[in-house]
Amino acid sequence: MKKSFKIISVVLALVLVIGCFAACQKDDKTKEPQKEVLVMATNAEFPPYEYREGDAVTGIDAEIAQLIADKLGMELKIEDVAFESIIPGVQSGKYDFGMAGMTVTEDRLKDVIFSDSYATGVQVVIIKEDSDIASLDDVAGKKIGVQTNTTGDIYATDDYGEENIVRYENGAVAVQALLNGKVDCVVIDNEPAKSYVAANEGLKILETEYMVEDYAICFAKDNTELKDKVNTALNELIDDGSVQKIIDKYIKA
């Protein structure tokens, strides 16, 4: 009798184990597969390309990056960091790519590789309405506010000299310095420049464009596989009009 009871107990235990295993297998099949995370580094101080709405980073770059991640079947995570931290973070592998209204330059190509261009930017000069600066030639010898490590910083330093450059953490701080008389002008991209001028009385943009440049996405030099995948997705989005639709949403003709 005891022997029969033991056999029955073993059989019941096996049935329970098999049933549990089958149920677990079934549950696993119904669960969504975990998406690989794609980490983007940006500096959300550059409207309309990237800026904050509450806790979220939004803008042209954020929306294009989301479409790229969707095409690759990946989950996008955006890290808002100081602009000068983007390239070192991408180089070290902390971030998968950097996207922050970033221009391809010879110096940056020493450290990272870039995707194809997805947008064109224009560097301009913000001045006070009563400024005696009437042309780019008049900027010579003036104190020029720039955001650290941006192309505005690079170009202005080359053209007007290191001694005339005053660097700030972001464009908003540079514009505040202009309003307070600490600098004579600010060199920055046209789109955020328009936002800053609209938000602050007494400022205007110099009519002559300072520099025209193309924006691209940066990757670590050894991450050519991801660069190629992103480039393919990006060009598909350019070809089907998705990128232009996003740009038009934020920048009115």
Domains and CATH numbers, the chain: 37-118+216-250 (3.40.190.10), 122-212 (3.40.190.10)
What does pTM read for this prediction? 0.74
- Tell me the pLDDT tens digit for each residue of 42-62: 999 988 999 999 999 999 999
Residue 96 contacts residue 226 (beta carbons within 8 Å): yes
Cα 183–187–193 angle (5° rounding)? 105
**Spatial distance between the Cα atoms of 188 and 176, rounded to a whole number of angstroms:** 13
Residue 40 confidence (pLDDT): 98
In whole angstroms, what is the distance from residue 41 CA to residue 78 CA? Answer: 6
pLDDT, position 251: 86
Question: What is residue 236's predicted lDDT score, i.e. its pLDDT?
Answer: 98
Residues of the chain with pLDDT under 70: 1-33, 253
User: E strand or H helix at 68, and its extent?
Assistant: helix 60-72
Query: Which single residue is written with the structure tokens 């002559």?
Result: 208
- The pLDDT value given to residue 11: 42
